[in-house]
Amino acid sequence: MKKPVIGIISRNLKEQNYLCCIEKARQAIILSGGIPICIVPTQAEDQLKKEPLQMKEYSKEEQKDLVHILKLCDGFLLPGGDDWYELDELVVDYAIKKDIPLLGICLGMQVLGKKISKEKRKIVDNTEKNNSKINHMEITKDKVHKVKIRKDSKLYKIVKKSEIDVNSRHNYHIPEIQEEYISARSEDGLIEGIEMKKKKFIIGVQWHPESIIEKDKYAKRIFTSFIKMSKK
């Protein structure tokens, strides 16, 4: 069976004037049996000089060009980052419509959460500032807090555990959404995992499994399942 092609959404590195592919995400795809490609905007506008809401909306022609790229992919990875753009939302819409596997990590999960919520405005970041007993921004630690996973979720079937330790690198979290979409919460009650149960694999996690895939079996299981579902 051929390896699935996984499109990784590019992220901004404004300090160095780069659009880049998150290296750990690229490596995690390869280690799990996939082929990574980086998906960049199909707009001519300079994304590095504008905030998301300053950008023009994608034209029909630009969306058509993007779909031409998306058709090359068997799955999509939305990695973490600082800001999301219309590109992220268009990819999520495409994956949901076509039922193509998608894994959202940190910011990527927040994009998915926004699309699931009742917030319909484009490119609007509807996340909320963390305000809890846990410091969720611990960049150097592999284990920061525990998450409790619902036993009726796809995530539970993947990790095969109702509680696991995770890393954490976010100052913001998604607001409450319908309970049916929530698969995991942290000890302080913040949403840490979401999914669309009726889809093949549309899953978001707030932590960073790509960073610990070589030493954490649960992180490995998430990526292994993502790649496996992308083969079908």
CATH, residue 172 = 3.40.50.880
Provide the whole-model pTM: 0.96
pLDDT in tens, 124-175: 999 999 998 899 999 999 999 999 999 999 999 999 999 999 999 999 999 9
C-alpha–C-alpha distance, residues 41 and 105, integer Å: 19
Weakest mean pLDDT among 44-48, 153-157, 207-211, 226-230 = 44-48
Q: Which domain holds residue 207?
A: 5-230
Asked if 182 contacts 204 with a C-beta cutoff of 8 angstroms, the reply is no
Say which DSSP state 93 is in: H
Q: Domain tally for the chain?
A: 1
| Six token digits for residue 54 | 């300053």
Weakest mean pLDDT among 15-19, 74-78, 79-83, 122-126 = 15-19
